[in-house]
A = this chain, B = another copy of it.
Amino acid sequence: MAGTNSERQLLTEGPVIILVEPQMGENIGMVARAMANFGLAELRLVNPRDGWPNEKAQAAASKADHVIEGTKVYDTLEQALADLNFVYATTARERDGFKPVRSPVVAAETLRARFRAGEGTGILFGRERWGLTNEEVALADEIVTFPVNPAFASLNIAQAVLLMSYEWMKSGMEDVGAVPFQAMGQTQSTKDQLFGLFDQLEDALDARGYFHPAGKKPKMIDNLRAVLSRRAFSAQEISVLRGVISSLDRFSRKNPRGGRFPADAKERQNDDSTGE
Binding site for B on A (CB under 8 A): 34, 36-39, 62-64, 78, 93-103, 105-106, 143, 145-150, 152-155, 159, 162-163, 166, 169-170, 173, 176-186, 234, 236-237, 240, 261
Q: Are A183 and B97 in contact (CB under 8 A)?
A: yes
Distance A181 CA – B150 CA, assembled complex (angstroms): 11
Chain B residues whose CB sits within 8 angstroms of the CB of A180 once the complex forms:
145, 147-148, 150
Q: Are A179 and B101 in contact (CB under 8 A)?
A: yes
Known: A148-B38, A149-B37. A103 touches B178 (CB 8 A): yes
Q: List 30 A-B contacts (CB under 8 A).
A: A37-B148, A37-B149, A37-B152, A37-B154, A37-B155, A37-B159, A38-B148, A63-B154, A93-B181, A96-B184, A97-B183, A97-B184, A98-B184, A98-B237, A98-B240, A100-B183, A102-B177, A102-B179, A103-B176, A103-B177, A103-B178, A105-B176, A106-B176, A106-B177, A143-B183, A145-B180, A147-B179, A159-B159, A162-B163, A163-B166
**Secondary structure of the A side of the interface?**
loop
Q: Are B98 and A234 in contact (CB under 8 A)?
A: yes
Distance A155 CA – B35 CA, assembled complex (angstroms): 11
Min CB distance, A163 to chain B, in Å? 6
**Contact for A36 among B149, B163, B183, CB less than 8 A:** B149
Distance A16 CA – B95 CA, assembled complex (angstroms): 35
Closest to A181 in B: B94
Chain B residues whose CB sits within 8 angstroms of the CB of A106 once the complex forms:
176-177
Chain B residues whose CB sits within 8 angstroms of the CB of A185 once the complex forms:
98
Known: A36-B152, A62-B154. A147 touches B103 (CB 8 A): no
